[in-house]
Amino acid sequence: MTQHSATIIGAGIVGISAAAFLQRQGYSVTVIDRVPPGEGCSFGNAGGLAFSEVVPTVHSRMLLKVPRWLMDPLGPLTIRWSYLPKAMPWFMALARNSLPDRVKAITAARADLALRVVSDFETLLKAAGTADLIGYRDTLRLYDSEAQYLAEEPERQAKREHGFEMKRISGGEARELEPAIGSSVHCGAFHGGWYFLANPGRAVKSIAAEVVRNGGVILEDDVLSIERDGNRVSGLRLKAGGRHSIDRLVVCAGAYSHLLARQLGEKVLLEAERGYHMLLPNSGVSLSRSITYARTPGAATPMEMGLRLAGTDEFAGLDAAPDYRRADALWTQFKAVLPGLRPPDHETTRWMGRRPGTPDSLPVIGPSRAAANVWYGFGHGHMGLTWGPSTGRLIAELMTGMKSNIDLTPFRVDRF
């Protein structure tokens, strides 16, 4: 029996997971990325395994907050106005997907994708010897007031309908659990099942190392173009490595994936939702779990390296220079609920990454409609770390003809 080979473009959590699960199905795998494994958004995220977040990122109630956010250049959402004309088709599609019937369908699809998140992550991390990186403690959400808590009841109800229960606790109980939380916190609620990773980048690198131990190849190179032979991809033209022949191709290139799909004639609405983080090795506070704050999107997560404050959405395209004031703004926001938080010092680091976001808050998972030997796994937005291993498993199942445990129709590439 001839062994199939698969080339995966992208060495983040999605691409590395696809490589690992394809190896389990007998594939020979090669992963290509311009940077080493786990050094894109898989490195810089908030660390949450947020599988209970089934409600899409943007819905009708969220849209009401957008004008106020846009008035603040350092707020949770900003658009560099020079970039708006290029992003307008994406935002128009976002508005359409914020209608109630679409939100209900999208929520159901996200809930399906959440079914095996933890078990898929455990499968890969146990094999890599790094299962201890998962913290099995639900993330705690903090509220300033009763009105703020009640405003999120529709999201909590949607979670309950899909089996996620959010226990409410008082501000005092929150401080008993996490003494670093300040007296201004009115109440808290658990997210319904979040866990977190103590070092997301190390987790991805450990899975990548296991892929290599099992015979896989990881190439640090840039894909310049895709070569076709009829309805199949025959090769890749690499910046340093010349031509790379293709048997089967998987595109998991994050915010750059739509550029590769475009070479095959497939239009995908994908934007770089640029996120920021600040890492504080000397934070002055101790947390046993990740926390989120209802006033602003983002999370504060205790990691091996220190306390990571992560969040915000910036639309400025792929190539605009970072605005690290947005990372600094996260410190100001979390200082309100963590009063002992020390100011940034000489060991503090800041980061910006490009989340690949679709206007319906769903990734693209499945076969190309334009090339018979190409599959896609990208567009996970804020949920890449969470859904990455499950996406890798689903791609491996599709490529080997196995029946998937969920309906993959909502994730098809030709839905835009």
Quick one: CA dihedral 324, 328, 329, 331, positive or negative? Answer: positive
- Residue 69: its pLDDT value, please? 59
What is the helix, strand, coil percentage profile of the chain, to 5? 35, 25, 35
Task: With beta carbons less than 8 A apart as the criterion, state whether 4 and 248 touch.
Answer: yes
Question: Based on C-alpha coordinates, what's the Rg of the chain?
Answer: 21
The C-alpha atoms of residue 255 and residue 379 are separated, in whole angstroms, by 7
- Residue 78: its pLDDT value, please? 82
| CATH architecture for residues 5-415 | 3-Layer(bba) Sandwich (3.50)
CB within 8 Å of 140: residues ≥ 6 apart: 174, 177, 178, 188, 189, 190, 191, 289, 290, 291, 292
* Local structure of 382: helix, strand or coil: helix
* Local structure of 249: helix, strand or coil: strand
Domain extent listing, the chain: 5-415
- Residue 121: its pLDDT value, please? 97
pLDDT tens-place values along the chain, 416 residues long: 457 999 999 999 999 999 999 999 999 999 999 999 999 889 999 999 999 999 997 655 565 666 665 556 656 678 887 888 898 999 999 989 999 999 999 999 999 999 999 999 999 999 999 999 999 999 999 999 999 999 999 999 999 999 999 999 999 999 999 999 999 999 999 999 899 999 999 999 999 999 999 999 999 999 999 999 999 999 999 999 899 999 999 999 999 999 999 999 999 999 999 999 999 999 999 999 999 999 888 999 999 999 999 998 899 999 999 999 999 999 999 999 999 999 999 999 999 999 999 999 999 999 999 999 999 999 999 999 999 999 999 999 999 999 888 999 999 999 99
| Residue in this structure with the two tokens 């010897």, named with its chain if needed | 129
- Residue 84: its pLDDT value, please? 84
**CA distance to 8, 21, 23, 216, 396, per residue, from 211 (Å):** 12, 9, 8, 5, 14
CA trace torsion 200, 181, 349, 301 (10° rounding): 0
Burial class of residue 182 in the structure, from the number of CB atoms within 10 Å of its CB (0-12 exposed, 13-18 middle, 19+ buried): middle
Strand partners, 9: 32, 251
